[in-house]
Amino acid sequence: MAPRVVVLSLASDFGCQVQITNMTDQILDVLGVIDLTYWQLATSGHLPAEYDVAIIEGAATTDEHVALLKKVRETAAAVVAIGSCANIGGVPAMAREGDLEERYATVYGGAAVAVGRIMPRPIDAVIDVDYRVPGCPIDPPEFLRVLSKVLQGLKDDTPDKTMCASCKLNETVCFFDQGQVCLGLVTRSGCAARCPSLGRPCTGCRGVAPDANLGSAREILVRYGQDPDELDRLLRIYNTSREVPV
């Protein structure tokens, strides 16, 4: 029996699910070995009662999200978090700074209603996650590699190192030498430093690497004549969230 897979979205822009649709021929190969029981972006039906693998995009921002995640964890044998929002809170977690209710009022005005809002958080602040595909949006080849591990029952091996070494392998000129701040010195590797190779400093969308040394990173900014507080300011784009109890 083919593994039954569902794809869900919480608070996000559906960008990671759109990336899946961009896989064209590869996704057809994947569909040949799984039973895609439910896909929120492309399905008009309801989430089934039983499934084996849950692929989740987006941050948890409401009580409804928390309840859904707990139900998913009870049901699925494997939970896969895809994208920055699901893995580290991403852009939705920027609302954690300041008064959350004031932010809702600014956006919705008098139409704001009580929907059981919670402080935005990554899904592993609510449930255990088995596999991760970082990034904003996800990288299709990386997603396929992780999905292959899921289907084979292999362990997740999300990189722990920072991505600076990738730039060196690519022979990319360091942005600090060009007077720009790049978050590659603290960001989780695994993307082959794609943005720097295309002429853009890393923005940290894959999250802070477990091996990162933020203190040393601030010292490097000072060494290059940059404000060390700039590191924290840039990290807030994707990494504002911190794990909180539910």
pLDDT for res 28: 65
pTM over 0.95: no
Token reading at 215? 């203190």
Portion of the chain with pLDDT greater than 70, in percent: 93
Over residues 118-129, the pLDDT tens digits come to 889 999 999 999
Q: In this model, does residue 26 exceed pLDDT 90?
A: no
Over residues 39-78, the pLDDT tens digits come to 988 878 899 999 999 999 999 998 999 999 999 999 999 9
Query: In angstroms, rounded to a whole number, what is the distance separating the alpha carbons of residues 43 and 130?
Result: 25
In sequence order, what are the residues at sequence separation of 6 or more whose Cβ sits closer than 8 angstroms to the Cβ of residue 228? Answer: 218, 219, 221, 222
List the one residue out of 121, 141, 137 whose CA is nearest residue 129: 121
Over residues 212-244, the pLDDT tens digits come to 999 999 999 999 999 999 999 999 999 987 544
Q: In this model, does residue 98 exceed pLDDT 80?
A: no
Phi–psi pair at 52, nearest 5 degrees: -105, -40
For each of the domains in the chain, give its residue range(s) and CATH number, in order of start. Answer: 4-152 (3.40.50.700), 164-239 (no CATH)
Token reading at 232? 């924290």
